[in-house]
Amino acid sequence: MRSFAPWIVSLLGASVVVSATDTSADAPSDVVTLTKDSFDDFMKAHDLVLAEFYAPWCGHCKALAPKYEEAATELKGKNIPLVKVDCTAEEELCRDNGVEGYPTLKIFRGPESSKPYQGARQADSIVSYMVKQSLPAVSPVTEDNLEDVKTMDKIVVIGYLPSDDKAANDAFTSFAESQRDNYLFAATSDSAIAKAEGVKQPSIVLYKDFDEKKAVYDGKLDQEAILSWVKTASTPLVGEIGPETYSGYMAAGIPLAYIFAETQEEREKFTEDFKPIAEKHKGAINIATIDAKMFGAHAGNLNLDPQQFPAFAIQDPEKNTKYPYDQTKEINAKDIAKFIQDVLDGKVEPSIKSEPIPETQEGPVTVVVAHSYQDLVIDNDKDVLLEFYAPWCGHCKALAPKYDELAALYSGDLASKVTIAKIDATANDVPDSITGFPTIKLYPAGAKDSPVEYSGSRTVEDLADFVKENGKHKVDGLEASSQETEEGADVTASASASSTETEAPAATEDEKADHDEL
């Protein structure tokens, strides 16, 4: 569960955007500018290209520009060009390449073959990512190039595998293919090289430029087991959370402990103090420092006071549980070690941020908060359509009147089968994966653990059809509303015809039809 990912991503990027400056258009550049007329020919002439699709007014594009330029200069010597396309001038080219936001980074192997760039937007990360793309999934290792290969990247994974062990070689190659975007892989079958490195065949060694510098895996060559080991071995005992590392921590699949500190000196001291704790719990929890001056606002997402530092909290991204440490207490290794152990042992109740439960429900849409979520969304036999929104979200504001209209369709008897609800996902902890606003999900009766996310147009009709098609009760709110409208019109017409106070003629059938439609 990673419901707060959008907020931390924006927080981690905010300071960068603010401090970024435009690169001069007149300055020499190693980034190649392409247009519709030059794009295809350039891609055909180069085996591997990283392309940025941008808009001149985009703040994130401006923040990326100097880093992209730095990476282009370093990669130029490796014959890996970096290019850019101005989407305000080349709308058709950007549309043809599926660009929906800025900046969009894509890797091209010819004009017709592309895939998204999924690395961090830092110069060294871009260089590392593109070098991996330029190499085969598994590079050969010899006695002469071993030392160079070991230092080609921050993380290098080398397989020491005998040539006659086909199963081991196939497993390692398959794993390398699946993870080539994330790690650099190499292999050798030379037993003399393995002996010189102090390992037996078959085994895998992960080389890194931090902590103990080297980790050895000699377990079962199962892809899931190897991946788990690589993730653990490649993570610093006490790292630092920032734009280039955040996604890795979130993808690790284990809890993350944050140490918020305002100065570099504090963070360095905490790093040393907490290394023994991190070593003890390696593979069970990651521990990292975070710059409280730059990213302190994120403390609020962990239910900490974002104005009081240093601070400590644990968060489990998979369960979206948060464990803030009492901010009136000192942050020291002894007490934090006990707190971490208690959290891992399930002795600490997670903190839940929630607005007060409304005393009464005002309006047709049911308001859900964290403390009423289980009751109103999960523990009932209704089909529940839930909108996760943010008060500042313009799209959410535009949806509001339509969502009210939708909710009104399920009044009366239908209210026992369908609930149309909403929750402020910025003010309440929610056990759902939210990547943008508004996010709308249907929780069908009897299958609450398998919600269906809505991706259609935000019209009353389409939302009602979605509820009917995916809900257990198959309620057609539009049809029910139409029937009520017709019945109401008939009653009105009958009362009007029998009234002695009106001299107006009875409506014709055509006029009734027009009125009913309105």
User: By mean pLDDT, which of 150-164, 188-202, 369-383, 470-484 is the weakest?
Assistant: 470-484
The residue written with tokens 């313009």 in the block is: 394
Look at residue 15 and tell me whether its pLDDT is greater than 50.
no
What order do you get walking across the sheet with 383-389 strand by strand? 366-367, 418-424, 383-389, 439-443, 452-453
Q: What is the 8-class DSSP label of residue 27?
A: S
**Domain boundaries in the chain?**
32-132, 136-234, 238-345, 366-479
Contact status, residue 472 vs residue 447, Cβ threshold 8 Å:
yes
The pTM assigned to this predicted structure is 0.68
Contact status, residue 203 vs residue 217, Cβ threshold 8 Å:
yes
User: By mean pLDDT, which of 98-112, 344-358, 461-475 is the weakest?
Assistant: 98-112
The two structure tokens encoding residue 43: 């891609």
Catalytic residue among 152, 333, 393, 447: 393
Q: Count the residues in the chain.
A: 518
Contact status, residue 85 vs residue 37, Cβ threshold 8 Å:
no
Look at residue 13 and tell me whether its pLDDT is greater than 80.
no
Look at residue 378 and tell me whether its pLDDT is greater than 80.
yes
How many C-beta atoms lie closer than 10 Å to residue 182's C-beta? 20
d(CA 362, CA 286): 44
Catalytic residue among 171, 340, 396, 442: 396
Q: How would you label 450-466 residue by residue, b for 16+ Cβ within 10 Å and e otherwise?
A: ebbebeeebebeebbeb
Evaluate whether 136-234 and 366-479 have a shared fold: yes
Q: What are phi and psi of 33, to 5 degrees?
A: -90, 125
The residue written with tokens 């630092």 in the block is: 240
- Mapping DSSP onto H, E and C, the string for 170-210 reads HHHHHHHHHHCCCCEEEEECCHHHHHHCCCCCCEEEEEECC
Contact status, residue 323 vs residue 315, Cβ threshold 8 Å:
yes
User: In the CATH scheme, what is the homologous superfamily, with its name and number, of domain 136-234?
Assistant: Glutaredoxin (3.40.30.10)
Contact status, residue 159 vs residue 204, Cβ threshold 8 Å:
yes
The residues, ordered by sequence, that sit 6+ positions from 148 with a Cβ below 8 Å of its Cβ are none
Catalytic residue among 14, 17, 58, 146: 58
First to last CA, the chain: 44
Whether 87 sits among the annotated catalytic residues: the reply is no
Q: What is the pLDDT of residues 401-455, one digit of tens each?
A: 999 999 999 999 999 999 999 999 989 998 877 878 999 999 999 999 999 999 9
∠ Cα 186 189 190 (to 5°): 110
What type of residue sits at position 405? E
Q: How confident is the model at residue 218 (pLDDT cuts 50, 70, 90)?
A: confident
Q: What is the pLDDT of residue 184?
A: 94
The residue written with tokens 């037993």 in the block is: 191
Q: Which one, of 165, 113, 172, lies nearest residue 137 by Cα? A: 172
Catalytic residue among 12, 49, 61, 138: 61
320: left (phi over 0), alpha (psi -120 to 50) or beta: left
The CATH class given to the 366-479 domain equals alpha beta
178: left (phi over 0), alpha (psi -120 to 50) or beta: alpha
The CATH class given to the 238-345 domain equals alpha beta
Look at residue 505 and tell me whether its pLDDT is greater than 50.
no
Q: What is the pLDDT of residues 39-73, one digit of tens each?
A: 999 999 999 999 999 999 998 899 999 999 999 99
The two structure tokens encoding residue 292: 């409280």
**32-132 has CATH 3.40.30.10 classification:** yes
d(CA 118, CA 393): 26
Q: Which residue has the higher pLDDT, 170 or 487?
A: 170
The residue written with tokens 């606003």 in the block is: 437
d(CA 390, CA 424): 6
The residues, ordered by sequence, that sit 6+ positions from 57 with a Cβ below 8 Å of its Cβ are 88
The two structure tokens encoding residue 133: 């793309």
Whether 393 sits among the annotated catalytic residues: the reply is yes
